[in-house]
Amino acid sequence: MFSLGFSERTHGSLHLHDEPLRVYDVSAVFDFHFSLIPDALAKKTVTLSGTVDIEGIATSAAHRGAVLVHWGKEQRIRYDFRFQSDAGVPMRILGQKDFMVISPIGSLIKLPFLLYEGDDHEIGAGEVELDLRSGARHGLWTTLKSLRLSRGVPMEPGEVT
């Protein structure tokens, strides 16, 4: 059995609901892994891991979760991952990309998200995008270079709906 993986580096910002005028820097590394066997491809779920940095909240915090790809009528990609803050508080990020024909690249490189303490206490909202600071070609090329085929099946992803 084989699996395919790739990485993305993102950066962006966050506003906490308690401090709506303050902008917090956010960056994340997303490592995507999915099995290439037909049953796994039919689930449309990709294992997600990596690290997240949120100014004043988390420093290189390891995250783990899943991405669910709805590519029928809905054309959306949902992210759900968890990590611990520097203070040891369980955190969760839920994000969603909505594919738009009028802006295909823009709709796929930007990830709007909500930040939660625990599973359901929403504390902020933000957006990250594929790291294109060195230009679109460089950012996309870095992602393409990270593609890798490996033996074995990736870890089971978390629940995403």
Dump pLDDT digits (tens) for 39-52: 555 667 888 999 99
Whole-number pLDDT of residue 160: 45
Q: What is the pTM of this model?
A: 0.80
Tell me how crowded residue 23 is: count the other CB atoms within 10 A of its CB: 14
CB 115 within 8 Å of CB 126: yes
Residue whose pair of structure tokens reads 């709906």 in the numeric block? 161
Structure tokens at 155: 């870890």
Distance CA 122, CA 140 (A): 32
